[in-house]
Amino acid sequence: MVDTHPDEPALHVSDVDARLNRLRAGVLGANDGVVSVAGVVLGVVAATEHPGALAAAGVAALVAGALSMGTGEYVSVSTQSDTQRALLAKERWELAEMPEQELAELVAIYEAKGLRPELAHRVAVELTEHDALAAHAEAELGLDPEGLTSPWQAALTSTAAFTVGGLLPLLAVLLPPEPARVLVCVAAVVAALVLTGAVSARLGGAPVPRAVARNVGGGVLAMAVTHAVGHLVGAAL
């Protein structure tokens, strides 16, 4: 149950879940930005010490990654929304053309959940009279007709999260003096991965130490591999 102040409207569970999902997606997007841009800049700094090349590669990785993340999220959520809207349109048609069958279906759903037949019928009738589409969409499809995710909102959130995350390794490798670039960047990235891993675990109800270890381990491995590849490419040039 969600606590609210007396003068504030109550939040539905679906609203809370939607907000948590958006927050989780933002954290994961920032995590992707940290790891992706860190991998690029550490690979480049291993191949060349030219600050212009490092800055160009880092900014290009940041912009390309953010746009790719936003585009991918837009396409993914658009496909999901199209499917949900098609299901809701079918449900509207069924409610208009076969209301008795739909009511019987709703009664059967509530009976399967443990309600007595008389109570299940009364609940189904009252919910149908109040908002037939919402009642059937929630019971049959697990959807809230008013709570569909906006593709543009998802895309902008992912783009912004990736950008914020990617700025950290970019600045950490560009601002320090040359001898400390790699060390400062790695330290900043590890600290960010600890934070995003802990937040993701909290949001998902998972054990924090395991999530942090997995997050940091994957990020460190990615940085080590790209740094090694940069050394090999730099030596071959």
- Write out pLDDT tens, residues 105-130: 889 999 898 889 889 899 889 988 88
**Inter-residue contact 2 to 31 (CB < 8 Å):** no
**Does pLDDT of 16 surpass 60?**
no
Model confidence, pTM: 0.77
Span 72-97, average pLDDT: 90
Cα-Cα-Cα-Cα dihedral sign, residues 171, 177, 179, 184: negative
Quick one: how far is CA 109 from the chain centroid?
31
Residue among 16, 15, 34 at smallest CA distance from 189:
34
Domain ranges of the chain: 13-84+151-236
Tens-place pLDDT, residues 178-195: 888 889 999 999 999 999
pLDDT, tens digit (0-9, with 9 covering 90-100), for 20-51: 666 777 788 889 999 999 999 999 988 887 88
Averaged pLDDT for residues 74-100: 90
C-alpha distances (whole Å) from 84 to each of 89, 125, 142 are: 9, 24, 10
